[in-house]
Structure 1
Amino acid sequence: MTQTYDYVIVGGGSAGSALANRLSADPSTKVLVLEAGHSDFKIDPFIHMPAALPFPIGSKLYDWGYETDPEPHLGGRRVYHARGKVLGGSSSINGMIFQRGNPMDYERWAADPGMKEWDYRHCLPYFKRMESRFLEDGTSGADQWRGGSGPLHLERGPASNPLFSAFFEAAQEAGYPLTDDVNGYRQEGFAPFDRNVKNGRRWSAARAYLHPVMNRPNLSVETFAHATKIRFDTSGDVPRATGVDYVRGVGRARKHHFVSAKEVICCGGAINTPQLLQLSGVGDESLLRSHGVDVVHHLPGVGENLQDHLEVYIQYASKQPVSIAPGLVWHQRPKIAWQWLFQKKGLGATNHFEGGGFARSNEDVDWPNLMFHFLPIAIRYDGSMAPGQEKGQHGYQVHIGPMYADTRGHVRIKSADPFEHPSMLFNYLSTPNDRREWVEAVRVARNILNQPAFAPFNAGEMSPGPSVETDEEILDWVRKDAETALHPSCTAAMGTGEMSVTDPTSMKVHGTEGLRVVDASVFPYVTNGNIYAPVMMVAEKAADLIAGNTPLAPSDAPYYRHRDDSPLWPAGDPRNQI
């Protein structure tokens, strides 16, 4: 006999972990979480050691291993996209950087029809509910902008390396302010960053939300459970989701299963969620029919509106032996592992993204459109170091990229096979505004890194190097060298327009019953920072909408605006003229 759950959550990642916790708090509600990957075992150092983040990225054991179609404006090259395939999802393999985005991001969301309760006033209480924030000295950082009793433990990076001090001083010399807290009253400026680390261990969504409640009798979690299709009852006027087909197991041990559900909640993220919807017959009818998928509901916005952040590394050699490069050479790694394993301290206990900032690339921009991550080493996400660094030589770098590219892409199935990765195209650098902002971004970063504060350290730019100077040379380098910042979003956008997918008042998929989406795909526009924090806020707020709880009262906390009459759209957007 098929077991029926009140909620089947497809995806045990960031949003899925939070929803599982909040919805199963009602003991009369039966909740099942289906996660395609394995458990985030407590003894796994590649997940729980913060500095080990290059290891799971690219590994089939942890990572979906997506790749874009040839990007036409990046010379036809494919861009690798890591997505977590493990409990905790991408929060179990990401850089642990906690950025809410700018308050104006949510004012922008709320300006769209039907979205008025997604403004900053309504979102801030959910940001506060989910976090326990601690300052550098270990004291609580709770105030009218920050939470102090939530499940997500946040600590501030110490940013004690002298290169961080030089970076913050150089930013001021270049005319950019410091700020007390990029997630507080004023985002614009430079400061130490918050990170999801607790007692020297990664503090993922699974560790914060899911594992503390795994013993609830009304909550079940199945790993190695790959959802292949959502089933619908189409006998009524509106198709109703009734359950999920999934394959459980590995290799020849895989078996097909079906679970009945009163409601199905898609939490697979901006790639998996539209893929599953399309495989299940919800999406653009011409796309579905071309792949032999029976159309349940024509919804053309599914998989469209894809957005992301692209970034580059601007790397410098250091005159002084102050970077962390010598500590990461191979013969030092056993020492790092020992220190982390037994003391939860040292280079293994930090994500190294301990400071950075947000700035406007020109005076026409009304809120920050550039994000900086500073690192006291020259290294890429995959762990490969700049030339010379692998021998312990010293360097440093800044990650930089525009936050509000007006480019749009898509996620579309390539067949009816649920195990075939979908077509994915972001159209990076496809618009004049995006290309202009890229040139500005590189010039702003170089300006900061060549200020007098860096004079004692600056031994010259390694990447892109002094030969890259003109606008076109900069763009050519970006086309060849840029990587994704791993923030795919917006493919099942909230709203009420023709291309909207998700109802912002209920998280239901338009034109269906018993089917909801809660993950980064519901963003109408990507926020200006790492997207983990906004995903968790969306999940917290969605949990109240789904459970029928009284929403948290809106906040009256003020926030910084560069100009009181700042428009709701980034510079150059024609909607500013409306």
Structure 2
Amino acid sequence: MLPLLAAVALLSSTATANPATDYSWHGRRDYVTPSQLQASYDFVIAGGGLAGLVIASRLTEDANTSVLVIEAGETGDDVRSRIDIPIEAYFNGLMHTQYDWQYLSAPQPNLNNRNISWPRGKVLGGSSAVNGMYMVRPSALEMDTFSKILGSLDGAAAWGWDSMFAAMKKSELFTPPSSDVQSQANILYNQASHGSSGLLHTTFPGSVLPLIGSWSPTLNAVGIPPSPDANGGSGWGTFVATSAINPANWTRSYAKSAYIDPLPARPNLHIMANQTVTRVIFDSSSGTLKATAVEYANNGYQAKPWPTVAVNKEVIVAGGAVGSPNILMQSGIGPADKLKAAGVEVAYALPGVGQHAQDHLSTQVSFKTSAQTTAQLYASGAAIGTPYQSFINSAIAYTNITDLLGDNAAAFHQQIIGNLTTYASNPAMNPSTDPTVGMGYQTIYQANADMMLSQIGQVELLLSLTGSNSGADTFSVQAALQHPFSMGELYIATPNPFDYPIINPNYFSHEADIVILREGIKLARKIGQTQPLSDSVISEVVPGPDVQTDEQWEAWLRTVVGTEYHPGCTCSMMSLNEGGVVDATLKVYGTSNVRVADSSVFPIQFAAHLMAPTYGLAEQAAMIIKSQYDGTPSPAALHTQTATGTSANPTDTASSNKQSDAAASRFSISISTISVVVLAFILPSMLF
């Protein structure tokens, strides 16, 4: 994974991008300080990231419901140009600053003992304020697999495709691309698969470079056809992704700008930044833990005892894949052995907290090019102003196991199935000794294996035009593993909530992962050697012609792979006897009024970026919570679990005379601006 700082260093001497003169700012809100807090709130939300702000916005639609959001980071208002201008995210973003948690993994033995960077947004809006803005949804089969994992748990239907599709559309206000961008980028989209009345703006960039137009025909030439409706449940094949961009002013649309900034005054919503939730305080007198208060502190500088705020109804933990299990464990909920070793009193032994950690691993092949790149555009100053400021990476493809392994796919699949039981009991594969966590490992493993021979993507390919360590005159094709069989863990080591937890993703502990990613990166090279993309290639610069054999590829991968910024699954939604942490209503086992609502609850990884499904999850969470207190129908009651895997007939937004069969398949050919991107070089595209 190429570091962001290299890109910044590469361009800093020439780039002087500033906010456009017609830049439209949202008004500032009045935030509260500890001295301004009420004594109690109906709901206290621990974490003001993507999910936390969505839920806060939705719950406070009821003026009789009071909500406090506690966020460890700053508001972000002082760095809005670096958040809001899309291209700045790639060349002058907030990673490696005080607005990034800057987590590091433990040394990874299968990656030459390297510590892998795990950037996470530490600011209101969380990672939605710092990421690559991709709005890529999981496929219907993946969401229905998630729901099936839940079995007979009450509320499981809320997490199948039909229900989550509706929730993701509910969050979205989609604007089609311009006709010029459509024609240049060869974009296929189905208007019916997008939301038209949500709060989060999505669209395609307002400008696109010629290399983007080469993506779809090149991928088609190597056997990966265009996806006509990637957002409607068939998220495989080649497409230009929609992005979280507001076309009214070509700014980033994120949780804060979409769900909080436009709100009228709401006395029932308080947001407190620069304060860290240190633990949840419980009453255990009834035998089930009941949250009565939340403790917080000013980033560790306050002397104890730390202040608390009382909770009338619920605590909603929304700290993300790292923050949420950390808060639970510091509160005494987690694996008993880990808690005791860290010096934390066990309030409820819940062995799955922090377990089943999964992430997308990624790297890239880079090529010297004669074509224009975003890096050159930015360095020249041409990116200043709209619509050029909205140009980001967006060309993408999801390749299935047959694309990668051909006739060997079935035998590879059988080998994986045959090793399931062995791996579940191997400490190198499943770090936990708890039998319920082992059962959960097998459930997740089996789910990934069951999807393998379908059209579901096993590797994501991204076109990155943001330059590389080899220069601004390079582009890259990134390959990222989507359904890892390797699972790790996250746990606390001290009773100090400001000490970072130990993060062990256990990368490449299962050999299938390195085989799949190896074939993916070989395909990335092939794409750069295939017309029409190859017409703009001068030479391959990374890894270069010396890497040819499978052994050489694998050795190289161990030295360069890194996160694609999509960690999850550390508070998995599964049954208690499978090491689950939350049930299908997001309630933490062993508690009566604590939920976790963020990307940590997904039990499997998706062939997608986590932002879109996390917006859907947050919308579902708000509905679930409301249904308990005001009697409105829950998502599970509104939707029956299905497994369609396909979407409604696409609608044609392109010219009717260009459609060969307007009655049967009315697709919208629209080519997305942005250079189909990779996450590999710059900027996370996580969460959501």
Cα 1:194–1:252 change in 2 (3 A) is same
| 2:76 is aligned with 1:34 | no
Deviation at 1:327, TM superposition (A): 2.4
Task: Specify the SS of the correspondent of 2:344.
Answer: coil
Task: Specify the SS of the correspondent of 2:144.
Answer: helix
Task: Specify the SS of the correspondent of 1:183.
Answer: helix
Contact 2:238 2:398 in 1 (8 A): yes
The farther-off stretch of 28-37 and 206-215 is 206-215
The farther-off stretch of 450-459 and 59-68 is 450-459
**AA of the residue aligned to 1:349:** S
Cα 1:172–1:373 change in 2 (3 A) is same
Corresponding residue of 1:279: 330
Corresponding residue of 1:120: 161
CA distance in structure 1 between the partners assigned to 2:294 and 2:216 by the alignment: 51
| 2:569 is aligned with 1:480 | no
| Number of aligned positions between the proteins | 540
Q: How does 1:183-202 map to 2 (within 5 A)?
A: 183-198=231-246, 199-202=249-252
Corresponding residue of 2:319: 268
Task: Specify the SS of the correspondent of 1:256.
Answer: coil
Q: How does 1:191-340 map to 2 (within 5 A)?
A: 191-198=239-246, 199-213=249-263, 215-248=265-298, 256-261=306-311, 262-318=313-369, 320-329=370-379, 332-333=380-381, 336=383, 339-340=384-385
TM-score (normalised: structure 2): 0.75
| 2:224 is aligned with 1:176 | yes
Of residues 91, 112, 127, the one that matches 1:75 is: 112
Cα 1:413–1:185 change in 2 (3 A) is closer
Task: Specify the SS of the correspondent of 1:135.
Answer: coil
CA distance in structure 2 between the partners assigned to 1:295 and 1:253 by the alignment: 24
| 2:380 is aligned with 1:345 | no
Deviation at 1:513, TM superposition (A): 1.3
CA distance in structure 2 between the partners assigned to 1:84 and 1:22 by the alignment: 22
Contact 1:248 1:254 in 2 (8 A): no
Corresponding residue of 1:569: none
Contact 1:360 1:370 in 2 (8 A): yes
| 2:505 is aligned with 1:455 | no
The farther-off stretch of 100-109 and 216-225 is 100-109
Task: Specify the SS of the correspondent of 1:29.
Answer: coil
Contact 1:492 1:500 in 2 (8 A): no
Deviation at 1:95, TM superposition (A): 0.6
Residues 254-284 of structure 1, C-alpha deviations (whole Å, 9 max, x = no match): 9932100121100000101101100100001
Corresponding residue of 2:513: 434
Cα 1:123–1:254 change in 2 (3 A) is same
Task: Specify the SS of the correspondent of 2:96.
Answer: coil
CA distance in structure 2 between the partners assigned to 1:297 and 1:216 by the alignment: 36
TM-score (normalised: structure 1): 0.89
Corresponding residue of 1:445: 524
CA distance in structure 2 between the partners assigned to 1:314 and 1:74 by the alignment: 18
Runs of 4+ with >6 A deviation: 252-255
Deviation at 1:90, TM superposition (A): 0.4
Contact 1:187 1:560 in 2 (8 A): no
Note the aligned Cα RMSD (angstroms): 2.4
The farther-off stretch of 519-528 and 53-62 is 53-62
Contact 2:329 2:353 in 1 (8 A): yes
Corresponding residue of 2:175: 134
Task: Specify the SS of the correspondent of 2:113.
Answer: coil
Q: How does 1:388-467 map to 2 (within 5 A)?
A: 388-389=471-472, 394-467=473-546
CA distance in structure 1 between the partners assigned to 2:148 and 2:351 by the alignment: 22
Cα 1:148–1:255 change in 2 (3 A) is farther
CA distance in structure 2 between the partners assigned to 1:497 and 1:159 by the alignment: 49
Residues 492-520 of structure 1, C-alpha deviations (whole Å, 9 max, x = no match): 11121424444443211011111110001
| 2:226 is aligned with 1:147 | no
Residues 504-543 of structure 1, C-alpha deviations (whole Å, 9 max, x = no match): 4321101111111000111011111110111111111111
CA distance in structure 2 between the partners assigned to 1:300 and 1:254 by the alignment: 29
**AA of the residue aligned to 1:281:** G
Contact 1:145 1:557 in 2 (8 A): no
Cα 1:41–1:377 change in 2 (3 A) is closer
Deviation at 1:557, TM superposition (A): 10
Normalized per residue, the structure richer in helix is: 2
Task: Specify the SS of the correspondent of 1:90.
Answer: helix
| 2:135 is aligned with 1:98 | yes
Structure 2 unmatched ranges of 5 or more: 1-36, 183-188, 410-452, 648-688
CA distance in structure 1 between the partners assigned to 2:193 and 2:644 by the alignment: 9
Of residues 41, 47, 50, the one that matches 2:86 is: 50
Residues 358-405 of structure 1, C-alpha deviations (whole Å, 9 max, x = no match): 1214254312112122123433xxxxxx3243xxxx221112112001
The farther-off stretch of 277-286 and 494-503 is 494-503
Residues 299-320 of structure 1, C-alpha deviations (whole Å, 9 max, x = no match): 00000010110110211111x2
Contact 1:249 1:255 in 2 (8 A): no
Contact 2:138 2:607 in 1 (8 A): yes
CA distance in structure 2 between the partners assigned to 1:65 and 1:219 by the alignment: 29
CA distance in structure 1 between the partners assigned to 2:304 and 2:498 by the alignment: 13
**AA of the residue aligned to 1:270:** A
Task: Report sequence identity in percent.
Answer: 29
| 2:634 is aligned with 1:551 | yes
Cα 1:404–1:159 change in 2 (3 A) is farther
Contact 1:300 1:499 in 2 (8 A): no
Deviation at 1:122, TM superposition (A): 1.8
The farther-off stretch of 303-312 and 160-169 is 160-169
Contact 2:583 2:589 in 1 (8 A): no
Task: Specify the SS of the correspondent of 2:322.
Answer: helix
Task: Specify the SS of the correspondent of 2:307.
Answer: strand
Cα 1:75–1:191 change in 2 (3 A) is same
Task: Specify the SS of the correspondent of 2:535.
Answer: coil
CA distance in structure 1 between the partners assigned to 2:158 and 2:61 by the alignment: 24
